[in-house]
Copies of this chain bind each other. A is one copy, B any other.
Amino acid sequence: MFEDRLAQRMQGVQTSPVRELLKLAQRPDIISFAGGLPDPELIDTEGLAEATAYATGEQARHAWQYGTTEGFMPLREQIVRLMATRGASVTPAELLVTTGSQQGIDLIGRVMLDPGDVVVVERPTYLAALQVFGLYQARVEGIEGDAEGMRTDLLEAFLERERPKMIYLITNFSNPTGATLSLERRRHLLELAARHGVMVIEDDPYGELVFDAQASLPPLWALADEVPGAKPWTVYLSSLSKIVAPGLRVAWMALPEWLYGKVTIAKQATDLHTSTLSQATAAHYLASDRLHARLPHMRATYREKAGVLMSALRSRLGGAITFEEPRGGMFVWARFAGGVDASVLAPRAIASGVMFLPGHSFFAGEPDHARVRLSYSLPDRAGIEEGVRRLASVMD
């Protein structure tokens, strides 16, 4: 029976705990620190409804019909503008619109990975990326990180010994750690990529959600222009999911020329193209400049909510939990003291009406069972405080 081979292929590939918890999070009585869902108050429903009305009115001819696999050109032109505000120069011909950044990760895996290939990730890293690399039967190696992101000195030592096919990392306010790769390490990473001939897949969904806009760092895609030989090895992924609306499923990849056609063919086989309704809506929304007008408020809101969460954790849980302060993004990466296992605590917390994500799923290799990812993005301020109160009651 082919059930055996099927079982072998799906081995170790489980449904994401985030996705499973999201289902529970729909229970109205649960306060959820689990998902990375944007604050509903920050979604510009008015501006998006207007953009959709435009897409289905003046742009109806495009919005309802088949489009090109590469993406709706007016949207790619808007992404060029958005990338320029991040300090990155890109042309529409280098951009491929994807159905969420998840698809970008998957397409790269599909085109590049053979079973047994080595993929380097931060340790810990985004669990759905681990899931994709697992599906392609890659061997995933985690390089430890700290508050400045992946330890590129450890990466350098690793590259002396092994020949990975790619390095995947979230450069800004990483999921789950919240850490940002420092400028010095960005340059070092690019030098290593160029020297060893290793792809660097930079995933950047959270970069705009920087608490202090002065602290933004240029993407690897931009810095690669200054590092000889680095550009052909860099791929940049970003998304509208965290800053506009995840329901659009609109994201993009910037790709070196040698890879662009191959990834486009893979996308064609996967879903022909991303929803033109979503793409035309996103194009009009970006053209309206409402996003950039709203970003300061978005950043201030998440900064404030992060503060509410950290204050509540300190006052209610005290020494029972430790964490680094995030400087952007959506997550506090914390650690329970006293040998508490987060995955044992999680179902009891749910029974008490609060949900978080046990940290173990984010580790390639040996996990730290005391780790927990707490997202402050979805609940409101009162909800954050009540959620921590419930968490404290479970821990008593």
Please list the residues of chain A having a beta carbon within 8 angstroms of any beta carbon in chain B. Answer: 1-2, 5-6, 9-10, 13-16, 19, 22-23, 35, 37-38, 40, 43, 45, 48-49, 52-53, 55-57, 60-69, 98-100, 102-103, 106, 110-112, 114, 128, 131-132, 135, 165, 197, 241, 245-249, 261-262, 264-266, 268-278, 280-281
Shortest CB distance A150–B (Å) = 22
A67 to B69: give the CA distance in the assembly, Å: 24
Instruction: In the A-B complex, list the 5 residue pairs whose CB atoms are closest, starting with the nearest.
Output: A247-B276, A64-B245, A49-B56, A99-B271, A275-B275
* Residues in B whose Cβ lies below 8 Å from that of A64: 43, 45, 48, 245-248
Shortest CB distance A24–B (Å) = 11
This protein's copies in its complex: 2
Shortest CB distance A262–B (Å) = 6
Do B6 and A277 touch across chains, with their CB atoms under 8 A apart?
no
Do B6 and A102 touch across chains, with their CB atoms under 8 A apart?
no
Do B69 and A19 touch across chains, with their CB atoms under 8 A apart?
yes
Do A265 and B10 touch across chains, with their CB atoms under 8 A apart?
yes
Shortest CB distance A378–B (Å) = 9
Residue of B at shortest CB range from A197? B1
Residue of B at shortest CB range from A15? B265
Shortest CB distance A92–B (Å) = 14
> Can you name 23 A-B pairs with beta carbons within 8 Å?
A1-B197, A2-B165, A5-B114, A14-B265, A15-B268, A19-B268, A35-B66, A43-B64, A43-B65, A52-B55, A52-B277, A62-B247, A64-B248, A65-B245, A99-B271, A102-B269, A103-B271, A131-B269, A247-B275, A248-B277, A249-B272, A249-B276, A277-B278
A336 to B217: give the CA distance in the assembly, Å: 61
**By CB atoms of chain B within 10 A, which of A43, A49, A132, A247 has the most?**
A247
A394 to B135: give the CA distance in the assembly, Å: 50
